[in-house]
Chains A and B, each alone.
Chain A
Amino acid sequence: MERPLTKHITIGGDPLNLAEYEKVGGYEACRKSLRTLTPDNILQLVKDSNLRGRGGAGFPTGLKWSSMPSSQNSPRPRYLIADADEMEPGAFKDRILMEGNPHQLIEGLIICAYTVDTEIGYIFIRSEYTLAAERIRKAIGEAYEKGYLGFNIFGSGFNFELRLHVSSGRYICGEGTALANSIEGNRAVPRHKVPRQTESGLWGMPTLLNNVETLCNIPHIINNGSIWFKNLSKCKDGGTKIFGVSGKVKKPGAWELPMGTTIREILEEHAGGMLDGLKFRGTLPGGASTDFLVEQHLDVPMDYDSVQKAGSRFGTGTMIVLDDHTCPVGMVHNLESFFARESCGWCTPCREGLPWTAKVLKAIEDGKGEPGDIEILEFHIRALGPGRTFCALAPGAMEPLRSALKFFREDFDAHIKEKRCPWS
């Protein structure tokens, strides 16, 4: 099985420096792109590859790139941003990619920048990713020194400046429009989605945003073609995916596997199954802001459409596992406290509703729940649902709660009836 993204990554080891990266074929895709391919060629390759965004929403990457306005008569500069904010609880895949092979990301960025004609790029990284930032900073330095960043890259006449932007915290910064506000030196509240960022993003200029993992796939698509990329996968979405598992399994970790690998295979073969004495009860398949799936879903393939059909979201592809000795109410309380703390405060339903939700869950968990509490939670699930708030944070926050009430309702009822947490 091929593992293009992680082939040259040794967990716990040093990443390849520029010379070593080139020795294993690094920057070949970049050289080929800038010297022999037109932006249209590359765009077509990416479209044909069926690569979908790995940042959570699964938007087709080729389609997103083609929504950048044409270069003629376009205001300049145009910007490209790698979203390296990774703060979704349960997600740690972009860290592995950045710590493990920073040049792969830089190469993906240069090819993308050439394709959509942007001259300035940012890697927007969260402040706790200190090791990743250090390695990226070093790699950017090497790339400048070699002339792979800056002016007239590979003699093609193409110029590209790349900057590392170290953030100062807050989950909402990972949301594309909030991220733009943050780089501009504003409070990181989201912006209107119309016009799109590709029309009017950073400082009102055309701006393209992609997730780190999305960009890391680009050099491999150029090197091996779109058919090869599609064949990596077990479903119609192209490529491999870094899947992760955390919680009480034998071997928590991350593995690069074909897109469309089943939840069961990931949990049992790669994560080694549950710790002895524990049973699987459910999982948030794509990080904190996705709906629980349960035992009946174990054979669902991990791809965007299948997970959606099963009633959840593919999200970041990093699963959090709930076992049969951990309280689902406590877990959902933890999740909603996180979302309440991270609400940016811009719109009322989220700012007021999330703390209320967390408070009700805390009361239930502490044995102080009352009969009407479930209805209050259900009210919030509706009031903070899609279209009711300014951005996707609040609807995302409601997903684990909604599905917990569906699958673990008896646990909520037991807490309220017995006036205590049955697990403590």
Chain B
Amino acid sequence: MLSDEIKSEIHCGISACPTRRCAILEALQIVQRHHGWVSEERLKAVAEFLGLTVEEVDGVATFYNRIYRKPVGRHIIFVCDSVSCWIMGFENILDHIQKRLGISFGETTSDGRFTLLPIQCLGACEQAPAIMIDGQLYGYLDRDKIEAILGGYE
């Protein structure tokens, strides 16, 4: 379930951890980097690899919104829905993206290209409304900019 590459990355990550528990998040992040999300089987494999119970690992995995427990698309669009972006009209941006891609928050396009998720304040409120795609921040958005931005992701 876990490739040798993943195992060795986790091994590297753990070296600085005083307990095995403290490696859980890093291990899940590594799995996610390789596979996009953390499946039930891989979560079990992580637990086994770290010598922890599945419940211990699952309890952590389900707490954090950046650990995905369902398949996601090739690119993840985070739309900031916090207060400054709300004032600056993020709802228009969201509406546009939703219509354009035919998906709502929590869904993935049928071609597996995009997953759309809400995110709390991206710390870019001076550039509101803001979104983030695969870790890249886009601010001062309007409908036209969205078109150009989405076109850059295959």
- Point out residues on A near B: beta carbons under 8 Å: 86-92, 94-95, 126-131, 163, 166-171, 182-188, 203, 244-248, 252-254, 284, 288, 318, 320-323, 326, 330-331, 334-335, 338, 341-342, 344
**Which residues of the partner chain B approach A88 to less than 8 Å between Cβ atoms?**
121
Distance (Å) between the CB of B127 and the closest chain A CB? 8
A186-B21, A246-B126 known; A320 and B87 CB under 8 Å? Answer: yes
**Which residues of the partner chain A approach B128 to less than 8 Å between Cβ atoms?**
246, 252
Asked if residues B84 and A90 are in contact (CB atoms below 8 Å), the reply is yes
A-contacting residues, B23-68, CB 8 Å: 23-25, 28-29, 59-60, 63-67
Asked if residues A128 and B119 are in contact (CB atoms below 8 Å), the reply is yes
A168-B28, A183-B22, A185-B22 known; A89 and B83 CB under 8 Å? Answer: yes
Asked if residues B22 and A170 are in contact (CB atoms below 8 Å), the reply is no
A-B contact pairs, 5 of them (CB 8 A): A92-B124, A128-B137, A168-B25, A168-B29, A288-B82
CB-CB nearest in chain B for A334: B86
Distance (Å) between the CB of A163 and the closest chain B CB? 6
Interface size on B, residues (CB 8 A): 40
Distance (Å) between the CB of B49 and the closest chain A CB? 14
| Cα A318 to Cα B123 with chains together (Å) | 11
Asked if residues A187 and B60 are in contact (CB atoms below 8 Å), the reply is yes
Asked if residues B18 and A203 are in contact (CB atoms below 8 Å), the reply is yes
Asked if residues B29 and A331 are in contact (CB atoms below 8 Å), the reply is no
Give the 4 A-B CB pairs with smallest separation, nearest first.
A246-B125, A169-B66, A168-B64, A89-B82
Selected from A129, A252, A322, A323, the residue in CB contact (under 8 A) with B126 is A252
| Cα A86 to Cα B82 with chains together (Å) | 13
Asked if residues B120 and A342 are in contact (CB atoms below 8 Å), the reply is yes
Selected from B60, B66, B123, the residue in CB contact (under 8 A) with A186 is B60
Asked if residues A334 and B82 are in contact (CB atoms below 8 Å), the reply is yes
| Cα A182 to Cα B18 with chains together (Å) | 14
Asked if residues B83 and A331 are in contact (CB atoms below 8 Å), the reply is yes
Task: Confirm or deny: B122 has a beta carbon within 8 angstroms of a beta carbon on chain A.
Answer: yes
Asked if residues B25 and A185 are in contact (CB atoms below 8 Å), the reply is yes
Task: Confirm or deny: B150 has a beta carbon within 8 angstroms of a beta carbon on chain A.
Answer: no
Distance (Å) between the CB of B52 and the closest chain A CB? 9
**Which residues of the partner chain B approach A320 to less than 8 Å between Cβ atoms?**
83-84, 87, 125
Distance (Å) between the CB of A93 and the closest chain B CB? 9
**Which residues of the partner chain B approach A127 to less than 8 Å between Cβ atoms?**
66
Task: Confirm or deny: B88 has a beta carbon within 8 angstroms of a beta carbon on chain A.
Answer: yes
**Which residues of the partner chain A approach B18 to less than 8 Å between Cβ atoms?**
203
A91-B125, A130-B135, A320-B125 known; A185 and B19 CB under 8 Å? Answer: yes
Distance (Å) between the CB of B67 and the closest chain A CB? 5
Distance (Å) between the CB of B84 and the closest chain A CB? 4
| Cα A145 to Cα B121 with chains together (Å) | 35
Task: Confirm or deny: B12 has a beta carbon within 8 angstroms of a beta carbon on chain A.
Answer: no
Distance (Å) between the CB of B54 and the closest chain A CB? 15
A169-B65, A246-B84, A320-B83 known; A184 and B22 CB under 8 Å? Answer: yes
**Which residues of the partner chain B approach A342 to less than 8 Å between Cβ atoms?**
120
Binary A-proximity of B99-121 (CB < 8 A = 1, otherwise 0): 00000000000000000000111
B122, B127, B137 — which one has the most chain A CB atoms within 10 A of its CB?
B122
Asked if residues B82 and A338 are in contact (CB atoms below 8 Å), the reply is yes
| Cα A94 to Cα B16 with chains together (Å) | 26
CB-CB nearest in chain B for A322: B87
| Cα A169 to Cα B117 with chains together (Å) | 13
Asked if residues A326 and B25 are in contact (CB atoms below 8 Å), the reply is no
Binary A-proximity of B114-148 (CB < 8 A = 1, otherwise 0): 00000111111111100010011100000000000
Distance (Å) between the CB of B85 and the closest chain A CB? 9
| Cα A369 to Cα B66 with chains together (Å) | 35
